[in-house]
A and B are shown apart, each in its own frame.
Chain A
Amino acid sequence: MTGENKKGTEQSRRRFLASTTALAGAAMVGLPPQDAAAGKKHPKRGGTLRFGTRDDSVGLDTHRNIIYFVSHPLTGITGGLVDFDDKMEPKPGVAESWDTSADLKTWTFKLRRGAEYHNGQTIDAESVKWNIERIKDPKTSHAFTRSVVSGVERVTVDDKHTVRFHLKEPDVALDINLVYYPVNLMAPGAADKADTEPVNCGPFKFKSWRRHDRCEMVRFENFYETDAEGNSLPYLDGLIGLPKKEDRVRLTALRANELDLIDNVAYADAAAFKKDHGRTFETWPVPQVGTAMMFFNLKNGLLSEKDNPDAHLLRQAIAHAIDREGIHQAVFNGIGSIANGFYGESSPWHPKGIAPSSTFDLDKAKALRKKAKGGDQRLTIIANDTFPYMQQSGELVHAMLKDAGFNVVLEILPSPVMLEKQGKGDYNIDSTANSYRLDPDGWFARNVLSSAPENRRRTGYVNEKADQIIIAARQERDRAKRRQMYADVETLVNRDLPMLYTHYVPLMMAGHRTRVKGYAPSFTGPWSYTGAGMRRTWMES
């Protein structure tokens, strides 16, 4: 974290510790006044919330699986050193406070006294060290999570409540990345049962799980957070996760009162649902979710300079052929906004002054295509089958490229095949999206930096100037300057077109207006969310 950034964090943390109210949490996410007023209703303990989601977790071991996104009800059992708030700033979790050395190579975390795992074991420095070491081991962890702690050389224990991370390289964003690539803590004694009976430290305890069917969690009575009056959180007694993959089924179940809260209201339904059922059901746009884009394959093939000298012309032709207003209307039903960079207006990292990528101009697209070598050769678009908006964007872009005279095919594929094709470079355009990284380094240093494994695996973009800026930005202490640096990178990206940002991904949740109170969504799921979210939700009958 840069100086200014760090200070801001410190301040907001102190502010948070001084006075935390449910109302503040609700007001911060910008709920309409009427809802804030409803929030004034006194919270009460008890009740079980039924949460319908599109997806479900893969496994229970939180080091090996990413139990994390909004669509995983099981996130309720997870917790870590750091939480975050609606501004995507890090907040105290199990760690009460933390500090970094001047060279940003040592991070010291002071653990909260009295914090416990679900089995009653104290969360001490030794157990944190054990967790980090387990996550560092490729035998027991997922690459996504491991990528955060791979820079940690060793972890030392100062005393029972102080743990120190020694990094190989300076890292400004360790704290925030500990939330994003969720470094969840589990009780060391229960590791051998991590796949069947996980023992974690989140606001809810694990009870049962049948994948794609139902999971049950009960309130963790010794959770560390309290509300302003000193009542322990969460308010809910229990949480039932009911994954229902079909968007239509989930919404119907909510309307038939079989669920209290759902995620991923289909964009097609959103407007009509709000209009016809807004009295009974409340809808929340989830702030800052991510960005949809077309990745171009610069590693090989028609759009790669290695195989085609006119690759850049072709990419420009494609960019001119894509009418992003169409994606806005036909895919997102007019919800959200068109993207010109990775971070949208709701993000603190939204930069000003990005030179936008090419605008829609069909004639120009046709002319460029004709001029460019290989303009009549076949292009393959791939899209993941899990996310409807990726498929639909792919479908629309396919039609738009056809309009511009391209010879183009579309393949909709499940994740394992997607990964294989991406790795082999067996595609030209990938209709995809990426969730917001809390710190922009998380995006640029992974997907734009030429040496990053993820960039090398997918687009293979190389721009030395961009590389220099990204590396320099890591050490830039002034937040505004840093933001500007990333704007410069985006300008390069929009010019070179290793990818074309298309749209910010909106996400809509819906819940029963009178039964569900105090709820506010967040983009990593409503749990690791200080001051709001599922911890402060209560049920009214």
Chain B
Amino acid sequence: MLAYILRRIAQLVPVVLVLTVVVFCFVEALPGSIVDTLVGTEGGDIEEARAILRKEYGLDRPIHERYALWLVRVAEFDFGKSLVTRRPISTELLSRIPATIYLAAVGISLSMLIAVPLGTFAAVRRNTGVDYGAQVTSLAGISIPEFWFAILCVLLFSLYLGWLPSSGYVSPFDDFWGSLKFLILPAAAIGFRQAAFTTRLTRSSMLDELSKEYVDTARAMGLPERRVIFRYTLRNAMIPTITISGLQLANLLGGTVVLESIFAWPGIGRAIFEAILQRDYPLIQAGVLVLGIIVVLMNLLVDLTYRLLNPRVKLA
């Protein structure tokens, strides 16, 4: 097992390298330069100021040199400074990434809270009103544009009902209970949407399990239906649900950018988005790299969990 894990981790290295090269190429191709924005336009010594800044930021070197330098520094865990704010990028990432993980993790948990009972019911009461109801609800969740849904939620819950704050963020490390009320709306917006996928998955894997022989055996032994379903079937059916949720969580790390701007949530998605707009090159590179590493590690973790939970899958 350990050898397998190590081999898988070793395989991640080229993946991450591909990622860095792709990001570097994209960043290089971005039109416009940060130097122009930082230097400003009014005044007669712009060219001189531009040259100074380009030199200071090392932008006058050829791209392969910059890439090599960057890679060496990153290997030493030095992401450098933001070209815009001139503050260390590591500080920025350390405050932004947890905010997004917090939002995404709670969102996914909420989606499972909705999806697992709904999917189970839909499977048990297959082809009944409950089933169709669950399918329609879950499809509605995927079909609505998330920013529209989020704005409608804000109008309803913050403005008309006044139950929840409309936007903002409090770090859970500063004030856990205080942070929750800011979290509910954005997390619910994520949860509703993700629940759509998860419900359908739970339903189909439940159906899969229910058709298996051990269920018939258990029923034949006279075990109560409730027990058959919750004790045995659901437990097995949860395996794919959990793994898919893990993958969704990874994908959400860069997928919450729209919700982050609506709820003024200081997450990493919006930080990278702003950095792209402003051409804050090292912040884009560092942000995508760190997120990418988290994503591939999470995929690995999901994979390992799946194998652990499901001993039928052999370690290839």
Contact = CB atoms under 8 A, between A and B. Distances in A.
Please determine if A and B sit in direct contact within the complex, based on CB atoms under 8 angstroms apart. Answer: yes
Interface in B259-316: 261-264, 266, 270-271, 274, 277-279
Given A58-B84, A252-B159, A416 B37 contact: yes
A146 B166 CA distance: 41
A416 B162 contact: no
A298 B293 CA distance: 50
A302 B32 CA distance: 23
Contact of B43 (A147, A246, A249, A385): A147
Contacts of B34: 416
Nearest to A142: B40
A67 to B, nearest CB: 12
B266 A246 contact: no
A276 B37 CA distance: 40
Q: Which of B162, B270, B277 neighbours the largest number of chain A CB atoms within 10 Å of its CB?
A: B277
B159 A256 contact: yes
Contact of B95 (A147, A210, A245, A419): A210
A371 B30 CA distance: 40
Contact of A212 (B38, B42, B165, B270): B270
A244 interface: yes
Contact of A242 (B38, B85, B168, B262): B168
Interface in B164-188: 165-169
B151 interface: yes
Contact of B159 (A143, A244, A255, A416): A255
Interface string A198-229: 00000000000011111000000000000000
A417 B32 CA distance: 4
A418 B159 CA distance: 37
Contacts of A419: 32, 36-37, 41
Given A138-B52, A212-B274, A453-B46, A249 B87 contact: no
B65 to A, nearest CB: 23
A464 interface: no
Contact of B45 (A66, A138, A255, A415): A138
Contact of A414 (B56, B154, B277): B277
A59 B166 contact: no
A138 B32 contact: no
B231 interface: no
Contact of B37 (A61, A415, A453, A457): A415
Contacts of A142: 38-40
A213 B100 CA distance: 13
B48 interface: yes
Interface residues of B, number: 48
A416 B33 CA distance: 6
Interface string B179-212: 0000000000000000000000000000000000
Interface in A103-133: none
B145 interface: no
A139 interface: yes
Interface string A439-450: 000000010000
B168 A143 contact: no
Nearest to A255: B159
Given A150-B45, A457-B41, A416 B166 contact: no
A210 to B, nearest CB: 6
A144 interface: yes
Contacts of A60: 85
Contacts of A252: 154-155, 158-159, 166-167
Nearest to B39: A143
Contact of A454 (B31, B33, B41, B277): B41
B84 A59 contact: yes
A244 B41 CA distance: 27
Interface string A37-73: 0000000000000000000001111001010000000
Contact of A244 (B49, B86, B167): B167
Given A138-B48, A150-B45, A420 B95 contact: no
Interface of B: 30-34, 36-46, 48-49, 52, 56, 84-87, 92, 95, 151, 154-155, 158-159, 162, 165-169, 261-264, 266, 270-271, 274, 277-279
Interface of A: 58-61, 64, 66, 138-139, 142-144, 146-147, 150, 195-196, 210-214, 242-246, 248-249, 252-253, 255-256, 258, 385, 414-420, 423, 446, 453-454, 457
Shortest 3 CB-CB distances between A and B: which pairs? A416-B32, A143-B40, A213-B266
26 contacts: A59-B86, A59-B87, A61-B86, A138-B45, A142-B38, A142-B40, A143-B41, A144-B41, A210-B95, A212-B274, A213-B169, A214-B266, A243-B264, A249-B154, A253-B165, A253-B167, A255-B159, A256-B159, A258-B167, A385-B277, A414-B32, A416-B31, A446-B42, A453-B41, A453-B43, A457-B41
